[in-house]
Amino acid sequence: MEIIKIIGIAFIAVIIIVLLRQYRPEFAIYISLLTGVLILLLVIDDLNGIINLLNSIADKVSINASFLALLIKITGIAFLSEFAVSICKDAGEGAIASKIEIGSKIIIISMSIPIISSLLEIILEVLP
């Protein structure tokens, strides 16, 4: 079970960070960043499986492939920005974290415009 590995890595990292902060606090952020990357690498295979499943479902239902690609990119942006926000907050940089959140939300909204406009067109076609 991968969740046990993830939790184990996280607990070990937390213990190392707590001990390291007493003597070398500047290295704590590096351990946190390394732990996050390691956890992301552990779940990358699962992510590929999810993307392949979504592609096969989209082919069966005949969803526009560009919309599916947009949704996957938007989800990736959300995950990456959450990771960056967490790292910034761990480093005590809440102001930078909030700017990352705002920027990622704006990017997600701008990327969603084609899907939103397509949905509005469909709704207008259905309405009398």
**In this predicted model, what pLDDT tens digit does every residue of 16-36 receive, in sequence order?**
998 988 888 888 888 988 998
Average pLDDT, the chain: 89
Has this prediction a pTM greater than 0.95? no
- Measured N-to-C along each axis, helices 65-90 and 28-61 cross at an angle, to the nearest 10 degrees, of 170
Parse the chain into domains and list their residue ranges: 64-128
